[in-house]
Structure 1
Amino acid sequence: MNKIGMIVAGALLALMLAASTLFVVNQKDFAVVYALGEIKEVITTPGLKFKLPPPFQNVVFLDRRVQSLDSPETRPMFTAEKKSLVIDWLVKWRITDPKQFIRNNGVDVRNAENRLSPIVQAALNEEVTKRDVRAVLSTERDKVMQGVMRRLADDAKSFGIEVVDVRIKRVDFSVNITDAVYRRMESERKRVANELRSTGNAEGEKIRADADKQREVIIAEAYRDAQKIKGEGDAKASALYADAFGRDPQFAEFYRSLEAYRASFRNKSDVMVVDPGSDFFKAMRGAGNPGSAKK
């Protein structure tokens, strides 16, 4: 039993020793092999690797993928015309020289980011102070980012890293400037709105006046045409009446008398005091007295 226990213990010891001498390098990492506290080797190819057991050799892994560094809470920057801007930025970087990176920053990526952040802020501030607000916001925004990348190139090499890209995410005025800009924009929009309303009212009055003029012209022309047609109708009617009455003068006289009676006694309440022997009642007398009618 003691012999079997010794064999098992020896096997476990051998496994532990083998495990301490073997390690796997992932595709996304650098493997840095330390020998008694000094960097002995940097392994960049993935696969199964060998080393001496601790404490003779140790392995530290560094992420070789692209890292993102966002701007911290930044202070305002001033443009060439002394306008205060707050700029949010983003830097993409990766480790290219693990030995240099460890010498300057250790193995913690946050140490590199804490050192890189103020350098980016200073480089961006230098680029912004050479330009006005319009250039920073639109016309030369790409040039600002390219200028920051050029300024970071030398510092990045000393850190053992490469700056892949620099991006400006947001550009805004500081709070006091923003309020003033908003008030100025509001005032400008109100002025434009008032001008548009005034122009619209003037155009409306012009359109209404033109419509009224056209209406009056149309009414006048219609009245003229109506009067012309009415006159022509009256002339034809008069001609027809004259022709008809000329053929039978007695009937014409009788018809006119009836029209006169109709006009005089239009309502039941109408009262007329006239001598019955007057010519006005001649037609009535003739209608009531056949002898008179024959005369």
Structure 2
Amino acid sequence: MSNKLTSVLIVLALIVGLLSSMVFVVGERNYALVFALGEVKRVIRDPGLHFKLPPPFQNVVLLDRRLLTINTQEAERIQTSEKKNLLIDSFVKWRIEDPRLYYVTFAGNEKAAMARLQAQIRDALNASVNIRTVKDVVALERDVIMKEVLDNVQRRAKPLGVHVVDVRLMRIEFAPEIAESVYRRMESERLRVANELRSIGAAEGEKIRASADRERQQIMAQAYARAQAIMGDGDARAAELYGQAYGQDGDFFSFYRSLEAYRESFGKKSDVMVVDPSAQFFRYMKSTKERGSQD
């Protein structure tokens, strides 16, 4: 009885082992390739529980379907159209697009796939950078270069079963042997531009000052002319008033003008005048009889 039970248990174990070898699970992060005698029979993209024949009739290989990254270990040394060496760091985002083609190309070896993509990126960078100047690569056309490299690598990676999602240039530096000369050239160029701007500013300043001086002189000339005209009008008006006043009473006007002259002449006690007492200037200081005999 015990021998029969043991035989039953062995048969059940063999059946369970056989069934378990015919069942496999595909996760959301994987593709599954079902092989039969070394040939790919099925490509499974949908996650879940799947069935196959037991080994050695069929076996399963899982491939990573996630977005993968390639970071350059060392900066690529690439030459510009000016024969200047640049050190360029880049990274690539890629994924497996055709699992069957990818496995046939690389035998499922991810390192081999990354090495091939790095070589293609290096070739694409050379093709884009070699025809441009340092200024174009560093500043003016960086986005254009990344787009060119991405298009180039996508086209060349598609026959490998790989889709390149993005290519980015992280760091661009001058090679040590040219960095110092480039920096000196950039410094002299900036200094030349600064001096040119200072010269333009000085010339504009002189032009503005000359224009301001010219306008000031014009304004002062106009003001002086206006002042002279007003003074002339005032003098004419004063002369007219003097004439009218003198015409009304000539004796009084002469007397008034003489008093004004006396006030101006004898404004201080220390003033001294050497004049003939019989001079006309003192006529109003004499008695009426003396003044009448002179008249």
Give TM-score scaled by structure 1 length: 0.70
Q: Which amino acid aligns with 1:201?
A: A
How far off is 1:266 after superposition?
Answer: 2.8
Map 1:260-279 to 2 at 5 A: 260-267=261-268, 269-273=269-273, 278=278
Q: d(CA) in 2 for partners of 1:207 and 1:97?
A: 72
- Corresponding residue number in structure 1 for 2:141: 138
Q: Alignment partner of 2:267: what SS?
A: coil
Hey, what's the Cα distance between the residues in 1 that align with 2:221 and 2:84?
A: 67
Moved beyond 6 Å, runs of 4+: 12-16, 52-58, 290-295
Q: How is 1:8-23 mapped onto 2 (pairs within 5 angstroms)?
A: 17=17, 22-23=23-24
The answer to whether residue 163 in structure 2 is matched with residue 163 in structure 1 is yes
Residue type of the partner of 2:227? A
Whichever residue aligns with residue 221 of structure 1, its letter is Q
Paired residues, number: 277
The residue identity in structure 2 corresponding to 1:172 is I
Q: Tell me the alpha carbon deviations over residues 211-242 of structure 1, each in whole angstroms, 9 at most, x when there is no partner.
A: 22332233233223322332232222122212
User: Is this contact kept in 1: 2:72–2:90, CA < 8 A?
Assistant: yes
Offset at 1:259? 0.4
Structure 1 residues 234-268: Cα deviation after superposition (integer angstroms, max 9, x where no partner): 2221222122123222211220121012211334x
Segment of structure 1 superposing worse, 207-216 or 272-281: 272-281
Query: 1:81-160 counterparts in 2 under 5 A?
Result: 81-96=82-97, 98=99, 101=102, 105=106, 109-125=110-126, 127-128=127-128, 131-133=131-133, 138=141, 141=145, 142-150=147-155, 152-153=156-157, 157=159
Q: Secondary structure at the match of 2:50?
A: strand
Moved more, 252-261 or 185-194: 185-194
Asked whether the 8 Å contact 2:24–2:51 carries over to 1, the reply is yes
Structure 1: which 5+ runs fail to align?
Answer: 1-5
Aligned to 2:44: 44
Q: Which amino acid aligns with 1:208?
A: R
Distance (whole Å) between structure 1 residues aligned to residue 149 and residue 225 of structure 2 = 78
In structure 2, the CA distance between the partners of 1:197 and 1:107, relative to structure 1 (3 Å rule), is same
Please tell me the root mean square deviation across aligned C-alpha atoms, in Å. Answer: 4.3
Alignment of 1:1-295 (within 5 A): 17=17, 22-32=23-33, 42-46=42-46, 47-50=48-51, 59-96=60-97, 98=99, 101=102, 105=106, 109-125=110-126, 127-128=127-128, 131-133=131-133, 138=141, 141=145, 142-150=147-155, 152-153=156-157, 157=159, 161-165=161-165, 167-170=167-170, 172-176=172-176, 177-267=178-268, 269-273=269-273, 278=278, 280-285=281-286
Q: Return closer, same or farther for 1:102/1:145 CA change in 2, 3 Å cut-off.
A: closer
Say if 1:93 and 1:161, in contact at 8 Å, map to a contact too.
Answer: no
The answer on whether the counterparts of 1:31 and 1:61 sit within 8 Å (CA) in structure 2 is yes
210 and 31 in structure 1: CA distance in 2 versus 1, 3 angstrom threshold: closer
Identity %: 43
Q: Distance in 2 between matches of 1:244 and 1:15?
A: 150
Distance in structure 2 (CA, Å) of the matches to 1:112 and 1:207: 69
**What is the match of residue 3 of structure 1?**
none
Question: In 2 relative to 1, CA 228–260 (structure 1 residues): closer, same or farther, beyond 3 Å?
Answer: same
Residues 134-177 of structure 1: CA distance to partner in whole angstroms, max 9, x if unpaired?
A: 77663963445433444x34xx64xx532334534257342443
Question: Residue 141 of structure 2 aligns to a residue in which SS?
Answer: helix
Q: How far off is 1:78 after superposition?
A: 1.7
Rounded to whole Å, the distance in 1 between the matches of 2:228 and 2:129 is: 84
Q: 1:259 is matched by which residue type in structure 2? A: E
- For residues 122 and 199 of structure 1, the distance between their equivalents in structure 2, rounded to whole angstroms, comes to 46
Q: Which runs of 5+ in 2 are unaligned?
A: 1-5
1:32, 1:39 within 8 Å by CA — same for their partners in 2?
no
Letter in 2 for 1:213: R
Normalised by the length of structure 2, the TM-score is 0.70
